[in-house]
Structure 1
Amino acid sequence: MADVLVLGGTGTTGRRVVTGLRDAGFTARAATRKAAEAGEVRFDWTDRATHAEAVRGVSAVYLLAPIGEAEPAPLVEPFLADALTAGVRRVVLLSSSAVTPDTPGLGDLQRLVRAAPEWAVLKPSWFMQNFTGEHLVAQGVRDGEIVTATGDGRVAFVDAGDIAAVAVRALTDSVPHNTEHVLTGPAALSYAEAAAIVAAHLGRPVRHRTVGTAEFAARLAASGLPAGFAGVLAALDEDIRRGTEDRVTPAVEQVTGRPARSFETFVREEIR
């Protein structure tokens, strides 16, 4: 196999995909807006001139949508056209369990990826890593109050390492997957239940407060997200409240051969 291009190669899943590919003996090219280290290549969605160099000699692409774009297809479609013309055969899209081909905007990417000769669509549930780092949920952990618009709805939070492990297989297996994988952790939890697990681990109060969808969209926009994209994310919280994410799938174990990481294990090992 030629090189594998990993878009978002320094991000939450991308850097794990890069590591997993290299550990498995494949050459991974990490795409980033500011390439600074060996194995990185400059990539900017808005600068098509960077696309040709990024895909030169590449056989497979790990594809993430442009961050913050509610309508990403106008940026992604020309890139994919260039990539396939350059010889890319396989495209693995990181989508979401909440996105279907009929979802306005983000759903268009699934249609585009399916046009590749070989493809897979990864549809993970919400990341466990949202409880750490710079995410608003993580800030809520630090403040002692996680705010969402999810009500009592449950989510089978999934670990980014498990997503990356599935991506590596989808990018490198000799037989293309040519399917979608809905990826979840082993148990569905409400944010109140997740907060209780975090609080028990930290030994201090962490609670969940639910707000209306419009209020949550405003909070997201106030955090710096574009208003349109904030509205999309808030609507996903509303879907959770309605029960659409209350499910568990065996996909991680089926693809990788090992069980998905539990939320309790993640909290014990990652939250300080």
Structure 2
Amino acid sequence: MSTASTTLVIGATGTTGSRTAAQLMAAGHGVKAASRRATPVAGAEPVPFDWYDPATHAAALDGVDRVYLIPPLGDPDPAATMLPFLRQARPAGVHRAVLLSSSAIPEGGPAVGTVHQALPDLFEQWAVLRPSWFMQNFTGTHAHARSIRDEGIIWTATASGQVGFVDAEDIAAVAVRALTDEQAPNTDLVLTGPEALGYDDIAAVITEVTGRPVVHRRLSYEQMRDRLTTQVPVEFAAMLAGMDRAVAEGAEDRVTDTVQRLTGRPPRTFRALVEREMRCSS
């Protein structure tokens, strides 16, 4: 890839977008950092972007040849908003698109799965990142992180199901490779950490590393759905609670070698992430 290439990073202030922008710039690649308020990102060109405001789209696409796509948060039908933008991106000069999806959503599945299905027909060079649950859900602004801080409790409907939690830094590292390698992956990539953990395990690690007691409280699907409806729209709450139920049934009990294979290094463990967060906050 030539350093003349520029990547539009949508959601450049978010969990994976900020890390992807930072890693791209550290490697010498040009970045346009898109966010609703065009928030400055060190070394990147800030640009206003709102999925629901098409007037912001043309300027964001100007001068870029690849794009990192973060779907609109909480939208149960992101394809209605994203596909018109992507159809505009190709003639504007974008030849590679990397989409952030989820390990829980297959090609053609609900929500962003429809965008996943459409991507190969829109771009010759593409990739879909399907990470497992983020480790940062327990350390950032996610509902789990808030309930850990406020109550010392993680609430889920996952029962004893296990998840290959993955560090957002590792997701970003794979995104950078998918955006910049000479050959695009042209496939979907399921990303996990090095081990599958249950939420009881997560609570135990946080307790051991921080010294603060944290427990996992198990809810039914209905209880989890109702709890989430106080935070997100009802349809999205039902989908999220359904993902918890799928975890309980074993849908996320797996690990993959994708991070190692694409970056050349092993994915970070959850314990290492919690220890790192403690050092940063001390």
Partner of 1:31: 34
Partner of 1:55: 61
For 1:13 and 1:194, the matched residues in 2 are separated by: 21
Q: What SS class does the counterpart of residue 111 from structure 1 fall into?
A: helix
Partner of 2:233: 226
Q: Deviations over 1:47-87 (max 9, x none)?
A: 11111110111111000111110111110010000101101
For 1:204 and 1:54, the matched residues in 2 are separated by: 44
Unaligned runs of 5+ in 1: none
Cα deviation for residue 111 of structure 1 reads: 1.1
Task: Say whether residues 1:259 and 2:262 are aligned partners.
Answer: no
For 2:111 and 2:167, the matched residues in 1 are separated by: 25
Cα deviation for residue 95 of structure 1 reads: 0.4
Partner of 1:185: 193
Cα deviation for residue 222 of structure 1 reads: 0.7
Alignment-mate amino acid for residue 88 of structure 2: D
How many positions carry a matched residue from both structures? 271
Q: What SS class does the counterpart of residue 30 from structure 1 fall into?
A: strand
Moved over 6 A (4+): none
Alignment-mate amino acid for residue 29 of structure 1: K
Partner of 2:164: 156
The correspondence of residues 1-272 of structure 1 with structure 2, limited to 5 A, is: 1=2, 2-37=5-40, 39-115=45-121, 116-142=123-149, 143-223=151-231, 225-271=232-278
Q: Deviations over 1:251-271 (max 9, x none)?
A: 001000011000110111114
For 1:109 and 1:60, the matched residues in 2 are separated by: 16
Alignment-mate amino acid for residue 87 of structure 2: A
Share of identical aligned residues, percent? 49
For 1:31 and 1:113, the matched residues in 2 are separated by: 20
TM-score by length of 1: 0.97
TM-score by length of 2: 0.94
Q: Deviations over 1:16-74 (max 9, x none)?
A: 00001101110011110001426110001111111111011111100011111011111
